[in-house]
Amino acid sequence: MSTLITNIAELMTQDLEHRVLKDAAVVVEGERIAWIGSAASAPAADDAVDAGGRAMLPGWVDSHTHLLFAGDRTAEFEARMAGESYSAGGIAVTVDATRATSDFDLTRLALGRVAEAVSQGTTYLETKTGYGLTVEEEARSARIASTVADQATYLGAHLVPAGMDAGEYTDLVCGPMLAAVRPFVQWADVFCETGAFTEEQSRRVLAACRDAGLGLRVHGNQLGEGPGVRLAVELGAASVDHVNHLSGADVEALAGTWSGWDATSGTGERGTVATCLPACDLSTRQPLAPARALLDTGVQVALASNCNPGTSYTSSMAYCVATAVLQMRLSVHEAVRAATYGGALALHKDQGADADGERAVGSIAVGHRADLHVLNAPSATHLAYRPGMPLTYAVWRAGVRER
């Protein structure tokens, strides 16, 4: 079954050629993109959809979320807005509520959040464990995460539970807990910050997870300059996320990881993506991550929602894109690219067009997964020109129209 989507005013492909096509069309066949080009030369298809002069982008790729949680942290948010500073300790409130929630309800809540994200144009997302913090609860979260998200990340090293020795808990994270979650996850992460895990503890966790065959990610440099970026670069992490407080040496180190990467062909040795989380920065009143400086030095940047109950209770990637344009000095094209191709790069899903279903996301190109986002606007510029407006008109996810 093939579908021709025509009368696209602006098609922002975010492919390696950075093409922006006018008066374009796309053919979807099954779950793949079969053809793109001028609407005037579009081939016939089994079905046709008229985009009505609207803009089309790749679906958002949200590479950093915490969707598996229960409970409410409104009081913490109100206190922070009244002037209290953010610290990692609030995670414990969510841990208690999540542990007390049944598998059925935890799955239902997570699926509801996924549906909210998809309704706003997100077509591929990652989510983490980290609100269980016992062997049994982290294994449960990992199992559920593997059923609700496209990729799952082990974040047992989110916080040391109250009453536990930090060294003993790190042993648990690196041993029995890791073994219990391993069948369900692709990645491992660690919250390397004051009040969470030290540099030594973080290195132990990351090394153990790497030895177990997991890809690595790091929560780093959110609350101040620290070892997060340095660890991510040293251990070859796919991404380091937050990156609010960076020294010149941090920026240079991240840029160095991309020195062997050819951005025009998508080949060579990939480096560590800097994932910026602007919705979280606004909620915690941290400085916005220096995305402009990172891009200018050759670092590949992603934008993600960091959807979680304490510091970023939103899955709106459009909000993140608008913030990146209006306050972080990215162009519309750069911000959209960071929220699509950049997220795919951080999740190692930027390449692939195989017949067995291993297909790239985050860009519109022949053979890639048909993840498409049509805006109720003639161009992507409206994402920042009309911030906060509900501009999602239609969404295709793996070739299936979701909206």
Q: Binding site membership for Fe(3+): which residues?
A: 64, 66, 219, 306
- Say if residues 275 and 240 touch (Cβ distance below 8 Å): yes
Binding site for N-formimidoyl-L-glutamate: what residues are annotated?
A: 131, 308, 310
Per-residue tokens: 84: 């209290």
Binding site for Zn(2+): what residues are annotated?
A: 64, 66, 219, 306
DSSP H or E stretch at residue 119: helix 103-119
Binding site: what residues are annotated?
A: 64, 66, 73, 131, 158, 219, 222, 306, 308, 310-311
Alpha helices in 216-268 (DSSP H): 228-234, 248-256
| Strand order from edge to edge, sheet including 239-242 | 60-62, 122-128, 151-157, 187-192, 215-220, 239-242, 273-276, 301-303
CA end-to-end span of the chain, whole Å? 18
Binding site for 4-imidazolone-5-propanoate: what residues are annotated?
A: 73, 131, 158, 222, 311
User: What counts of helices (H) and strands (E) characterise the chain?
Assistant: 15, 17
Strand partners, 339: none
Q: Calculate the CA dihedral of residues 36, 394, 113, 159 and round it to 10 degrees.
A: 40
Torsion angles phi and psi, residue 321, rounded to 5: -65, -45
Nearest to 342 by CA among 396, 392, 387, 302: 302
Sequence-distant (≥ 6) Cβ neighbours of residue 50 within 8 angstroms: 6, 7
**31 DSSP assignment:** T
Give the rounded distance of the alpha carbon of 336 from its chain centre. 13
- Say if residues 124 and 362 touch (Cβ distance below 8 Å): yes
Sequence-distant (≥ 6) Cβ neighbours of residue 216 within 8 angstroms: 187, 188, 189, 206, 209, 210, 232, 235, 236, 237, 238
Coil, helix or strand at residue 96: helix
**209 DSSP assignment:** H
